Structure 1
Amino acid sequence: MATITTLRPPASRTPQPAHGGSTQLLSGDALRLDGVTRAFGALRAIDGVSLAVTAGQKYAILGSNGAGKTTLFNAITGDFPPTAGRIHFFGEDITDLPPQDRIRKGLRRTYQSSLLFRDLSVRDNLFLAVRGVASGRFSFRRPGAGHASTRATEDLLERARLSHIADEKVANLAHGQQRQLEIGMALAGAPRLILFDEPAAGLSPAERRELVALLTSLPAHMSFVLIEHDLDIALRVVDRVTVMHNGRVLRTGSPAEIEGDAQVQAIYMGSKH
């Protein structure tokens, strides 16, 4: 089992009220949600969620099935924009921006279900991810070995720890290797914040250890927000945690505070914790 990382205290901040206009964030905020709600008819899948992720912070959102975690991600990425509340990304109000514009601003996401080109190689998948966020991405000419996109692809192979299977077809990869590839693709184009949607789902113990090593190796300046059911992983790779219940924020604190919270234990962790 990986060693628990040193916990960094959250940056102090003064709460600001939600409103409809554009605001300047407090220094250091990468992502801020103010009263974010997403309703589907009479059902409020998320209801008045407020949280802030500082630049470089590693953040987890925990909760049982139906707590609203994936809906919250969909609101942040613009797949299902909020019906109330505001979302700010590095000081800019992105609440009404389409998903592609959020991507161009440095927001990335992985999904619970793999979205990979199974008949292409690992290298080709990463190359397409690089080209998808690069200028000249609609060119039909494949760059040569010295091109920036080619160099970036090789760099992603190293960072995703997949160089040894670079030419393997994705369809032949183990599930854990496909998850690594998804993370590598999310790293294309120097993202400023990545949303990881249950990256440990279905992984073996060995694959979980590899995932922990990969997540803890990400650059210190890069923020990420992680949805995860595997608490053993989540509490080891982040320094701030929000627990959701029935679409609302139940608790927010450090991993140690969340693990020691009696209500969180009772609802999500069970008596063995």
Structure 2
Amino acid sequence: MERSDALSRLQSSGQYALELEAVSRHFGSLVALADINLAVRAGERRAILGSNGAGKTTLFNAVTGDFPVTTGRIRFFGEDVTSLPAQERIRRGLRRTYQISLLFETMSVRDNLFVACRGVAPNRASLKRSGPSDPAGESAQILAEAVHLAEVLDAPVGTLSYGQQRQLEIGMALAGAPRFILFDEPAAGLSPTERSELVEILTALPPHIGYVIIEHDMDVALRVTERVSMMHNGRVFKEGTPEEIESDPEVQALYLGDSHG
């Protein structure tokens, strides 16, 4: 398959945060991703949508390095990271949240954020106990405010609502001045009120931080992004603005249902 003209123009442009060139991922005879060409500008907010089994999470795993690609190339801010391990991609400013919460439930919100900040800091392996002026502690306070958790900063994570725990995951992904974030279904299981708060948090992120969001909640996804890529059977089959995707008859037939017709 030839690369699209759009993707060809992206190469060496320096203005794209994430570029996937003919990326495929096979699990034995199962083709989970097939010749994915995708380009996301620096600072862009992109949604990747599709039904279960479309390949969305596998795509995230390929971008983060959790799964090596079978074929193709991945660039992060112009650098070929295809062969780099996950921790090296993190050091270059890539962050991710997961469908299943990965939090320390017996620790406080503050301590979870502190661990996230320390984990991406140059002195992350230090055994020195933090003091009141530790930059990671100051960052934890700032992050808590950004994700609307300042009032529960010292509460054990296990006592938080599910929505607050998802907010905390976003805060932890923001640790260490990320350049780009992958959000894996952050609205899953949230109440309508919690979804509204999630939208507020995502839209308030600094404009230089781009992200890609996988989300089944179409109302959330289309409100917090400026461009949408639709996946089906391991391929990207349509791209456009939220308005174009929402009004597209083929997309409506496959994913959106009568409520979006």
TM-score range, shorter chain: over 0.9
- SS of equivalent to 1:184: helix
CA deviation vs aligned residue, 1:81-120 (integer Å, no higher than 9, x gap) = 1101100000100000000000000000000000000110
Distance (whole Å) between structure 2 residues aligned to residue 147 and residue 263 of structure 1: 53
Distance (whole Å) between structure 1 residues aligned to residue 91 and residue 232 of structure 2: 32
Report the CA distance between 1:139 and its aligned residue: 1.4
Distance (whole Å) between structure 1 residues aligned to residue 127 and residue 175 of structure 2: 19
What runs of 5+ residues in structure 1 fail to find an aligned partner? 1-12, 18-22
Distance (whole Å) between structure 2 residues aligned to residue 73 and residue 14 of structure 1: 22
Q: TM-score, normalised by structure 2?
A: 0.96
The RMSD of aligned alpha carbons is 1.3
Task: Say yes or no: does 1:93 pair with 2:86.
Answer: no
User: Which of 152, 173, 182 matches 1:195?
Assistant: 182
Distance (whole Å) between structure 2 residues aligned to residue 205 and residue 242 of structure 1: 25
User: Which of 19, 38, 47 matches 2:25?
Assistant: 38
- SS of equivalent to 2:21: strand
Report the CA distance between 1:24 and its aligned residue: 5.6
Q: How many residues align?
A: 256
Cα distance, 1:228–1:249 mapped onto 2, change above 3 Å: same
Where does residue 157 of structure 2 map in the other structure?
A: 170
Where does residue 253 of structure 1 map in the other structure?
A: 240
Where does residue 115 of structure 2 map in the other structure?
A: 128
Asked if the contact 2:43/2:209 (under 8 Å) is kept, the reply is yes
- Structure 1 segments, 4+ long, off by >6 Å, are none
Where does residue 16 of structure 1 map in the other structure?
A: 8
Where does residue 49 of structure 2 map in the other structure?
A: 62
User: Which of 141, 157, 173 matches 1:186?
Assistant: 173
Where does residue 201 of structure 2 map in the other structure?
A: 214
Distance (whole Å) between structure 2 residues aligned to residue 257 and residue 14 of structure 1: 18
Q: TM-score, normalised by structure 1?
A: 0.92
- SS of equivalent to 1:30: strand
- SS of equivalent to 1:244: strand
> Amino acid of the residue matched to residue 257 of structure 1?
E
> Amino acid of the residue matched to residue 148 of structure 1?
P
Distance (whole Å) between structure 1 residues aligned to residue 80 and residue 200 of structure 2: 33
Report the CA distance between 1:14 and its aligned residue: 4.1
> Amino acid of the residue matched to residue 15 of structure 1?
L
Distance (whole Å) between structure 2 residues aligned to residue 180 and residue 15 of structure 1: 34
Asked if the contact 1:25/1:90 (under 8 Å) is kept, the reply is no
Task: Say yes or no: does 1:81 pair with 2:68.
Answer: yes
> Amino acid of the residue matched to residue 107 of structure 2?
L
Distance (whole Å) between structure 2 residues aligned to residue 198 and residue 46 of structure 1: 19
Task: Say yes or no: does 1:71 pair with 2:58.
Answer: yes
Paired residues for 1:209-248 under 5 Å? 209-248=196-235
Report the CA distance between 1:141 and its aligned residue: 1.9
Cα distance, 1:28–1:161 mapped onto 2, change above 3 Å: same
Distance (whole Å) between structure 2 residues aligned to residue 15 and residue 233 of structure 1: 27
Distance (whole Å) between structure 2 residues aligned to residue 144 and residue 53 of structure 1: 40
What runs of 5+ residues in structure 2 fail to find an aligned partner? none
Where does residue 4 of structure 1 map in the other structure?
A: none
Distance (whole Å) between structure 1 residues aligned to residue 70 and residue 122 of structure 2: 33
The percent identity for this pair of structures is 60
Where does residue 149 of structure 1 map in the other structure?
A: 136
* Between structures 1 and 2, the one with greater helix share: 2
- SS of equivalent to 2:69: coil
Distance (whole Å) between structure 1 residues aligned to residue 250 and residue 34 of structure 2: 20
Distance (whole Å) between structure 2 residues aligned to residue 198 and residue 109 of structure 1: 11
Distance (whole Å) between structure 1 residues aligned to residue 148 and residue 259 of structure 2: 34
Q: Larger deviation: 216-225 or 145-154? A: 145-154
